[in-house]
Amino acid sequence: MASKLLFLVTLTILIALPFFAYPASSAKDVPPTAPVPSRTICEYTPNPSYCTSALPNQTADVYAYGRFSIRKALWQSRKFLSLVDNYLKLPSALSITAIRALEDCRLLTSLSIDYLSSTYQTVNTTSKILSTMEADDLQTVLSAVLTNKQTCLDGLQATGLAWNIKNDLSVPLSDDSKLCSVSLALFKKGWVGKKKRKTTWRLTRAQRLFRHGRLPLKMSNRTREIYERARGRKQQSDQGGVLVSNIVTVSKDGRGNFTTITDAVNAAPNNTDAANGYFLIYVTAGVYEEYISIPKNKKNLMMLGAGINRTIITGNRSVADGWTTFNSATFAVVAPNFVAVDITFRNTAGAIKHQAVALRSGADLSTFYRCSFEGYQDTLYPHSLRQFYRECDIYGTIDFIFGNAAVVLQNCNIYARLPMSGQFNVITAQGRTDPNQNTGISIHNCTVRAADELASSNQTVQTYLGRPWKEYSRTVYMQSFLDGLLNPSGWSIWSGDFALSTLYYAEYGNTGPGSDTTNRVTWPGYHVINATDACNFTLSNFLLGDDWLPKTRVPYTAGLI
């Protein structure tokens, strides 16, 4: 009897051993290859209870769980896309606003399926820490999947959809978001190592090359002839210039290849190989009243204008007129490696029409150089993925730089305009929803001041650096000039105490009358940081810019100044 009892106790311990090998509280210390029960690995995720219900009840390593969750997220995204398509087949039952919201969801879900598919192809064949750039690539697209789902959900909730339809879509979408959060956390646990932080303080080669403000282009003699004829002047030496495979010109007077930018974009080749250079669209001076959308297959496209306020792309869509915030954009791009230079992007809807986007970018590794973005509420929408803005002008009133990209604005002029009576100005509204997303807004060596219309109005308008649109909102101002228009508290709430302990807002080395941090907010998530922490948000570290920006030949500062 005693021996039988001993056998049963021993058997019980052996069966239970995997569950106690790594206690839940130490999940972060579990090696990626260690087999553990799902409830243990789920402690690493933001929502352990949902994670436990979503993963199989078994013992496995983080790589097996990660593959399972990403594969399941891909399957659920395909299922959701089918559901959206079914509703879009019945347009007579839907308002035009609801149709537009569903069309946004279809685009966003299609992109998410691409991102999840490419991620799964990698993780399904690899059980080790990835290279820094490859890990950042996949963490970026998984972050974008979460952003896409949140954008879809926000659009649906803002429309006049019938309750049963809204519920039919929102419930699976919410579950999909939770599963993608699990996937992102497990990917970070298994495949992402520690970044090697750089502390660059000196000028880069690109900075030295561009200290005279030129953007040299490297092209064939025939392409150069077309370009020089379009500009009416000769391009200087192309040594070290941007590689251009082909060029077309847009001119409203009919002297170019096209009279509209949309036609030029449609004519661009699909999936251009980066090794062959950019397909260049030169847009001559003029006002182009167009709504332009550059789809995902128009890769490696460069659009060059004649200069700020000379080449102007303008529209006036707004939420007040029945558009979603997402599709109110005058100019929208999701094609990777997009570059825009010397162009003004404008939305003229005005403050009275509320959300009205001038430019929306969901283009990975996109660059905007010497451009201007003009609007009031929600002017510039860096929606998702990795983006860089250099020497740009940004005008607006409420939340006029917003979204959930990993974005650096460098050497830019940020102008607060005159809002409607009773309103205040907020510069940023960053939309990070998950602590594992590698997203945020880094504003480096910029100038924040009042636009002429506000400065000359003799009105006192409270202006703030930002407010938390989503729970893990993250924004940093570094080595920038902050003028005296700012409220001394610096930052504004969104609603009550929402996100005040989970956000990350920081300031480092700013100057000007608005830079005094003595009377700043005392939220748990607000910080005055040192140089070591600020380095995390430099171009080299936050965007790994040294790996992809040099080919654009746009000047940049790699580290702190």
Query: Which active-site residues does the annotation give?
Result: 378, 399
Check: CB of residue 183 under 8 Å from CB of residue 358: no
Closest CA to 283 of 345, 213, 221: 345
> What does the block give as tokens for 29?
């210390």
CB 118 within 8 A of CB 145: no
Instruction: Give the 3-state secondary structure of residue 359.
Output: strand
Distance CA 487, CA 507 (A): 15
What is the torsion angle, in degrees rounded to the nearest 10, for the CA atoms of residue 131, residue 132, residue 136 and residue 139? 60
Query: What is the DSSP secondary-structure string of 45-106?
Result: SS-HHHHHHHS-SSEE-HHHHHHHHHHHHHHHHHHHHHHHHHHHT-GGGS-HHHHHHHHHHH
Q: Read off the amino acid at residue 328.
A: S
Integer CA distances (angstroms), 462 to 238, 274, 450, 487, in order: 47, 46, 11, 6
Chain position carrying tokens 């991620």: 119
Nearest to 303 by CA among 289, 292, 319, 315: 292
Residue type at 215? L
Q: What CA–CA distance (Å, rounded) separates 203 from 277?
A: 26
- C-alpha dihedral, 216 to 217 to 222 to 226, nearest 10°: -70
Strands (E) in 251-305, as ranges, are 278-283, 286-289, 292-294, 301-304
**On the CB side of 432, how many CA atoms lie within 13 Å of its CA?**
24
CA angle 181, 57, 184 (to 5 degrees): 15
Q: Token pair 């510039």 is at which residue?
A: 380
Which residue type is seen at 297?
N
Place of tokens 């006002």: 287
For the stretch 161-165, contacts whose Cβ atoms lie closer than 8 Å and that sit 24 or more positions apart, written own/partner, are 161/94, 161/95, 161/98, 161/101, 165/87, 165/94, 165/98
Contact 186, 66 (CB under 8 A): yes
Q: Alpha carbon of 158 to those of 86, 109, 118, 148: distances in Å?
A: 20, 18, 31, 16
